[in-house]
Chain A
């Protein structure tokens, strides 16, 4: 009995020791900080999106840390400039993962960057949220484990704008396009025009203009459009290119002659001020607008917008909200993984396992990460410009918010193929309409 007692005491001691060691091992596994590597444009024309995105990331990280971090761990950010170009971007991404040992990445703004970094993230087994890039093909071509898109892609973004146009201007006969001559400009037009042919086959495309990316002058394009007199002019241009196009068109009366559709114009509305006339159709790459009709009275939304304005001088634009969504997705995945792990700090694989089917809220309607292809299902807001008291720029009116599921390519299908199956009655979908200020 004595021997048995001794053995039990020894066993208990060992168990206690293991327990203590085990406990301390779990505590050590919880890192001092959660490192996030973010690729964004800090140079070049796309810095108009990248810099606000960076400012948003810094604000949101500070706020998360103020509230105790993610799962009790403060976040720390590292930024990489996408503007440095392909090889430098890849090298810097490797450095983030292998040298700085980041725990997650948000990559990227450009679809070209995403095309490079998503396979690399897969090789490096790095949890990655594609926070702003729009090319649908990335997640349609292959199933990835480690990369998730925390927002929509170009297909629902263009489809929402098209349905809005068809609902509000059903009788137009001719259309022209002026898009930047690079992947986004070409792909967005392919999506839009493919769907247009299905939904309104009688429309004639009178001009397809793809000026050089960064073109300083659109005079000739404007002259040609003025001579052609299309009912609708569609553009997915952005940044300085869009500003120049819109202003040169406005100065010469083209904005009054044709209905302009600025498919991602939300990001330029504040900057263009009174140079934008009323009646332009504006898309927002998601349900993003600092006067979001369903969120405008939300205290957190208002506080974030005001804080962002205080920091940068402008109200947020869509990349800012996309950045917020990436953080919300990361936080949601960690919270879910911690819960599934019995409250203990999860491994990266456990966080990755938690991401599919995750639903999270940024500063718009909830977004869901579709499990089949890791594609985010995000609502789309489209409106029309209108003057409003108290603003030195146009606001959006007659806003429609499209439900993500209704306009997103079904999982397992390729966007262009799916668009070819659409019928004219697709436009008859029910969409809530919101007036400015109501």
Chain B
């Protein structure tokens, strides 16, 4: 592989990793605080994408630039409404119960949302590329890239990473979340409302999933089953990093994105396997994940 192809593959890997990170980090955050593996995370991603596309198509005739706020609005609506409802109505009843019960409930939510998605948006692929079309392409070594994929997506992912770090480590609410994560009983004893912390954390995680979907919507066709694809990959990334590891998730998403891109250039038949080969290799050596530590704080 020459230096030109190296740069091209790196750019492809970067844009892919940005989307994967946004979804994976929400999953990881929810597990880190709530100790629940949220299978419905993929549905939140899909709903974010579908709602963003619907809003984009709605506002485009008014002004195409309104599609950008539409992506954000869609993420927030799904994160707050769907995420809030799932946490309040279902998950809040099973905290501390058997893990298999929690898993089954989120799986049931996933199935319900998958069918709801089909009922609301149908089965024909939907595409709303206006945000992507608004920005010019950039040429790198004679190969054209969309600015949206190689500039906007990575910037949003970096902002999400640093924003989340800042929120958790520099704000009172972040400190409260960390306190509940560290020791729920002690935190409750000093007057922290753990239920509220769980709700807020789940909404943040759900919003990140929906944001991933919303940002993906201009680049891909929205189809039934898209949530399944993403949840499987997100689990691979989160598990490889170590569940609950935010920076680790970013590094792992980048590594898997890069590995996938390079494999497509060098040995494309291994493209599908790469994320899972990396996951298996890591978990065999470090069952807690690359950045996981069983005794340390989870976020």
Q: Are A214 and B223 in contact (CB under 8 A)?
A: yes
In-complex Cβ contact of B124 among A208, A217, A247, A271 (8 A): A271
CB of A207, distance to nearest CB on chain B (Å): 7
In-complex Cβ contact of B9 among A207, A223, A241 (8 A): A223
CB of B270, distance to nearest CB on chain A (Å): 10
A residues less than 8 Å from B261 (CB atoms): 220
Q: Are A251 and B125 in contact (CB under 8 A)?
A: no
Residues of B in contact (CB 8 Å), total 49
Of the candidate stretches B79-87, B138-146, B159-167, the one touching chain A is B138-146
Q: Are A216 and B132 in contact (CB under 8 A)?
A: no
CB of B194, distance to nearest CB on chain A (Å): 36
A residues less than 8 Å from B129 (CB atoms): 247, 251, 275
B residues less than 8 Å from A51 (CB atoms): 122-124
In-complex Cβ contact of B8 among A207, A215, A223 (8 A): A223
A residues less than 8 Å from B12 (CB atoms): 219-220, 223
Indicate if A244 sits at the interface (CB-CB under 8 A). yes
Residues of A in contact (CB 8 Å), total 38
A210-B268, A220-B265 known; A226-B9 Cβ under 8 A: no
A residues less than 8 Å from B271 (CB atoms): 181, 210-212
Q: Are A217 and B220 in contact (CB under 8 A)?
A: yes
Q: Is chain B's binding surface mostly helix, strand, loop or mixed?
A: helix
Q: Are A48 and B269 in contact (CB under 8 A)?
A: no
Complex CA distance for A221 and B261, rounded to whole angstroms? 9
A219-B15, A271-B125 known; A240-B143 Cβ under 8 A: no
With A216-B219, A217-B219 already in contact, 13 other A-B pairs whose C-beta atoms are closer than 8 Å: A48-B223, A211-B271, A212-B272, A220-B12, A220-B261, A227-B8, A239-B223, A240-B220, A240-B226, A243-B221, A244-B220, A247-B129, A252-B144
Contact sample, A vs B, 29 pairs, CB 8 Å cutoff: A43-B225, A45-B224, A47-B123, A50-B123, A51-B124, A210-B271, A212-B229, A214-B229, A215-B229, A216-B216, A216-B226, A217-B15, A220-B12, A220-B260, A220-B261, A220-B264, A224-B8, A227-B4, A227-B141, A240-B220, A240-B223, A243-B125, A243-B127, A244-B221, A247-B221, A251-B129, A252-B146, A253-B137, A275-B129
Listed in ascending order, the chain B residues whose CB lies under 8 Å from chain A are 4-5, 8-9, 11-13, 15-16, 19, 114-115, 118, 122-125, 127, 129, 132-133, 137, 141-146, 149, 216, 219-226, 228-230, 260-261, 264-265, 268-269, 271-272
